[in-house]
Chains A and B, each alone.
Chain A
Amino acid sequence: DAMVIQNPRYQVTQFGKPVTLSCSQTLNHNVMYWYQQKSSQAPKLLFHYYDKDFNNEADTPDNFQSRRPNTSFCFLDIRSPGLGDAAMYLCATSRAENTEAFFGQGTRLTVV
């Protein structure tokens, strides 16, 4: 049974056109993360929520925003995608500090 679900699996967007990626979880975990992973690189943390508390990484561009309307859902908004934003975007959840993270299958974003 899927526990962290990302939609869509593949997203193609036009340069500069806002795009939203979604993530849902059935685990009732407190923490939700968004990572960006480019080809052959490490996943890079963009931001995370601990419950409703939003934590932005210092080097996350302003072009990236996130919303968490409730425990189950979290969204990644890219306001004006550039070619350099093409990547795999990974959502993950964890119950609390000091526990394992559960990842979705990712959304591969292509910018044309």
Chain B
Amino acid sequence: SQQGEEDPQALSIQEGENATMNCSYKTSINNLQWYRQNSGRGLVHLILIRSNEREKHSGRLRVTLDTSKKSSSLLITASRAADTASYFCATDLYSTLTFGKGTMLLVSP
């Protein structure tokens, strides 16, 4: 299985702090994607990083990818209470998008 594994499983921080989540996977990928899910809702795409990229930014999000270590990290800077959600990494190979177990982020005001 190429399922990603997120670390930590849960993260609790204060508003304004940075949040870092890590993802490891097992096999080759075309790209790695990060998604956000609010409780009981669908997933929302955050950012996609291709296998030949090492770092990508989008607003307060920064994603890194290390294909030699088969790992990725998602950094959310200056967190807000509205960032409270579950965050999943997903590996993409031949149109098969496989999700990791997710990190539950709680940002307290």
Contact = CB atoms under 8 A, between A and B. Distances in A.
A binds B: yes
Interface string B80-109: 000000001010101111111110000000
A98 interface: yes
Interface string A27-50: 000010101000001111100101
A106 B92 contact: no
Interface in B39-55: 40-45, 48, 50
Q: Which of A4, A55, A100 has the most CB of B within 10 A?
A: A100
A9 to B, nearest CB: 10
A106 B102 CA distance: 18
Interface residues on B, range: 20 to 34
Given A43-B99, A100-B33, A105 B92 contact: no
A35 B40 CA distance: 14
Contacts of A88: 40
A90 interface: yes
23 contacts: A4-B42, A41-B101, A42-B3, A42-B88, A42-B100, A42-B102, A43-B43, A43-B88, A43-B99, A45-B97, A45-B98, A90-B42, A96-B95, A97-B94, A98-B50, A98-B92, A100-B33, A101-B43, A103-B35, A103-B45, A104-B42, A105-B42, A106-B42
Interface of A: 4, 6, 31, 33, 35, 41-45, 48, 50, 55, 88, 90, 92, 94, 96-106, 108
Given A42-B102, A92-B97, A97-B95, 12 more contacts: A35-B99, A42-B99, A42-B101, A44-B99, A45-B98, A48-B96, A97-B30, A97-B94, A98-B30, A98-B92, A103-B45, A105-B42
